[in-house]
Amino acid sequence: MKETTADEFIEAIKEAVDVIRSVVGKIAKAAGAVTAKERRAVEEGMKLVQPVVIRDADGRSVPIPLVGSEPDWAKLREILLKGPEPSRGQRRIMLKEFKSAPHFFRKSLSVTARQIPHARGGHPFKLNTPQKRLAAAKRVDRHRVKEHMGLSEAIAKAQRELSNEGIAISTKTLRRYYNEYVLGKP
């Protein structure tokens, strides 16, 4: 492989690694790690993730860990230089893949996060203040009065609207808010 091509690949890989490594601090912060000791604990946990490994045809490899030590960039360059020169189309595709790696990582994190159970106590409330709950109850009442709907229809319509706004709430909870905030029944 040409030196310029190898250097271009290494730069693209470095950018992807830098972005992914910067995410570790954000993950620690999101997990509630405030002190340096807590952040180190998150980083130690991330070290358990198997590193990405780039191998050549002879079986030599360069691990690229998410945290901790830097990859052996000189060895990676050597592996790339000994490899065959990719065609123009292959080169373009490979660089595109390297450059899109952070976005793939982001997508995989969000998918994985949805699979992890919520903290004890269940799903966090979206309508976490009395004002938000009152607004949802008034929305149900507005549909019921202005559009001459039955209560069940008004609740279903309000639920669909809230769902479109990204607020997952059951009809049972909306009915409870309506009873509590509009009708005054606890």
Q: Is residue 123 part of a domain?
A: no
Q: Is residue 9 part of a domain?
A: yes
Q: Is residue 164 part of a domain?
A: yes
- pTM metric for this prediction: 0.54
Length, in residues, of the chain: 186
> Domain containing 81: what range?
3-115
Q: What value does the mean pLDDT take over residues 167-172?
A: 89
Paired tokens of 179:
């009873």
Q: What value does the mean pLDDT take over residues 160-180?
A: 91
More confident residue, 81 or 30: 81
In the block, tokens 């604990």 appear at 41
The average confidence (pLDDT) of the chain is 85
Pair 87, 109: CB distance under 8 Å: no
Are residues 85 and 47 both part of a single domain? yes
Give backbone dihedrals phi and psi of 23, rounded to 5 degrees, phi first: -70, -30
Q: CA 69 to CA 144: how far, in whole Å?
A: 62
Q: CA 138 to CA 143: how far, in whole Å?
A: 9
Are residues 90 and 137 both part of a single domain? no
Q: Could you report the per-residue pLDDT of 35-79, keeping only the tens digit for each?
A: 888 888 887 877 777 788 888 888 888 888 877 788 889 998 998
Q: Is residue 124 part of a domain?
A: no
Q: Is residue 125 part of a domain?
A: no
